[in-house]
Amino acid sequence: MMNKKIKFQDLGTKDYKDTWDYQEGLFAEIVNQKIAKRDQPDIETNNYFLYVEHPHVYTLGKSGDFSNLLLSEKQLQEKGATFYKINRGGDITYHGPGQIVGYPILDLENFFTDIHKYLRYLEEAIILTLAEYGLKTERSPGETGVWFDVGTPFARKICAMGVRASRWVTMHGFALNVNADLGFFDNIIPCGIRGKGVTSMHVELGKQIDENEVKQKILKHFKELFEAEWE
């Protein structure tokens, strides 16, 4: 039985490690449901979608290069930032205030079993949301995320993505720069990609953006793409 209902939670501002632990708990819950389902086919597996805003933090994916962090431990402390090496794909990225972070923790067997398609749908939800603000964004071949001016000297990323999937259960997700302080990206080589910039809705539109409004638009497009229901 496929369960297309997604339990939505906005966690507000929450420490990165605490949120990671929380994700791991939900992830394990779904995996355990899938194991039980082998003997009891009527069991439904849950799906979750978390919104969160993190205090300043840098995270490095499992195959990332530590040298892409350009700060010492002392400099991290001076900037009030933390650092974690984590179990998602991708390289290094930054999370902080003014950024919308979304963590879909889904059993993809409730939707479709295709990780490539899953990532493209995440990108599409952001692309469609930004289009509502008159912003034309696109994908960059071989570089997951959402970009402006791909293939030009002005290419810049507005939304980073990195996920983990096991037994078709996902965790981690996307980070959209809305009103974020982009200066924090100067301390890393974002996603390990040299020579390309980072931007935000605030920079592109020249004004502060209502983050709650953006969140609602993302949820609308996510729901339509995944043919889901919110709980």
Q: Is 180 annotated as a binding residue?
A: no
Q: Tokens 């939670």, residue?
A: 9
Catalytically annotated residue among 146, 163, 176, 191: 191
The yes-or-no verdict on residue 186 having pLDDT over 90 is no
Helix axes 115-131, 211-226, angle to 10 degrees: 140
> Which tens digit of pLDDT belongs to each residue from 76-115?
889 899 998 888 877 788 999 999 999 999 999 999 999 9
Q: How confident is the model at residue 176 (pLDDT cuts 50, 70, 90)?
A: very high
Q: Is 64 annotated as a binding residue?
A: no
Q: Which fold has domain 5-225?
A: BirA Bifunctional Protein; domain 2 (3.30.930)
User: What ranges do the domains of the chain cover?
Assistant: 5-225
Residue 87 is predicted with a pLDDT of 82
Q: Is 197 annotated as a binding residue?
A: no
Spatial neighbors of 212 by CB under 8 A, at least 6 apart, are none
Residue 194 is predicted with a pLDDT of 56
Q: Report the pLDDT averaged over residues 20-27.
A: 97
Q: What is the mean pLDDT of the chain?
A: 93
Q: Is 92 annotated as a binding residue?
A: yes
Q: Could you give the CA distance from residue 146 to residue 156 in angstroms, rounded to a whole number?
A: 9
Active site annotation includes 159: no
